[in-house]
Structure 1
């Protein structure tokens, strides 16, 4: 058994950034990754970058097969770059294999040449999350089943695609596949569409997706999936009426679960919650001293930039002043990459009402923005909430072209506690979407 200064289980964003940093401090690092296809982590291989590449290609009118080839080339380049970023460091070893704990600080790695045992002075768990498949009769064994991972590995475009789940992941895929030319039907047992969003924004998103060719079946029960004579059907029902949806493929877009089931945590004192997420404190410590959890595996928001900020918290603890915490991370912007993108930070109107928060509402239709006319996409709305006493921004919802870019400007203003008037009076380049803040913030509703 070999003792290693640092063991990182999983090649994800936070873990690989930590590995590189520790090596630059002269420390020994063992990085264990179960699949060579996942060098670099979820984001570059099966999530953020490949999915956004396909979404971009769909919007440009690229045919599906060409888009898939381009996506695969991009991912291969990124994967190779990320591997060498770590493997070329003198003090980093990248080991292919599946790790599981045998005690609090000891792991066994099952490799192609047999098991290897290691003890880690520090261990960082960075195994990410994996798609969940709902317990619908016939779905798990259906040859038509896709997950958010396998949906991006198709060689040909499905003509009829049923997506189970009208959440953000489901909507991104619905928008993308509809743009490519598939007939897309989204089914969900919830009656309300995008329940966390303000009603006016949710209505716009739904109408625009429907105009793009997406059909929604909301408030339905999904009874079963069956295949007969080479044809797959999804049986749904509502109010006693049953409908059969014909599908070439069925995409389960019902969330992702922390990947902890095969880590052997039962052999340790590392606690998990009822979803299998590793429990951590404000500095990402697990319930075992000297063991941390980074990124999606600990639950909470599943974004690569959260995983990167987890690295900063650990870096600050080990080599800084130890003041960074999850609790002082600040506001976190989000984006849904539909067309146009839906981006958000802070409070929505719905959340402000629920909290009893007084606010000024600023609202501007995208059709009033010159750049939107240039882009030939005038759909959407900009909304911003401001505290009437402090003049600080409480939140913003931007449903507009390039919203995923300019939401970061709002988040920065909120984090720096700058008054909304700074965005209102800023001199912007023209024509841009960002200059819309001049008009958006002129006068509250």
Structure 2
């Protein structure tokens, strides 16, 4: 049985000419054009050439093909006339729908989850990132084995998916996938335990952890670079950052803090990825403060904010975790729109307008973050022996030394610090 699509259906072709399809079933906070643009951006991020973008209004999704038969015919005509090799659906397709659409369109079909997994697979650089992506991909692929092993139809010489030696092969592959997933989960559990040990060490130090979160391409890495002087990959590209990056920063009144750049979120983030990246996202869950970086110049900025907050809730970030919104890319705003955004930001204590590119607003953001982290700090008078260099260094490192004077044979320090730090110093439990 031939579908006209003979290569491995799981082989993703870079440079493929594609059509992006949005089945509009209503209920989305974005309009069809915005959804098409975002999905086209995801496709371009892995080298796909988007030739056509099509939205179909659906009253009722079809079990076999998701879209209606007339829409399938119209799409097949577009694929044929434009000589396209790929159809990217901005929706979740069942294995049956994916297979039927490939039969009808005579081209490769990939859904939103598969597309995001392809991007993550290409962007993973660290061993941990590759483990997480492989686990997510295997979880996604486990239900698609029947579709994946189309070459087995020729092996068993028949139609359908019952009987024959190919069925044994499919079951064997399912078992291999289950075994591999179990091994990956054990390895990621070890990663999670290691991260936990690192966090415990930081908490004993204690250095506050600040996590940058936000929608993909909101400018988190650019802001991270601006705050730390690093050169983390920062491009106008969806999911440019995948593996987490930690850097040490100094803030007013805080000698050392840890800043974490995390993977960008996206609407309808595949559940497989949320589960697989649990170890990475634990850095966000345990952070002392979140900076939610928003692309305030994007027309769907408010919808993106809601998507990010939804993911934060799903991964277990406490509502009481202190957070700021960094309204990034204000350098792209002009005239009345810029004035309006700045006025809205000025009316809120938890919002700081910034430009990671020009540096505008970054210093006020740093001051606001430092003030929030040092909130509740008290002023203490501490007398030290002049020879106690280690104690003096600790005070400078973990507190803000306001005044320093000499009284007889003692050095008097006026220090603002957290009560827990003062207690640790007094008991020398550091």
Q: Same fold (TM over 0.5)?
A: no
More strand by share: 1
Larger CA Rg, structure 1 vs 2: 2
Structure 1 length-normalised TM? 0.26
More helix by share: 2
Q: Which has the higher contact order (CA 8 A, sep 6+)?
A: 1
Structure 2 length-normalised TM? 0.27
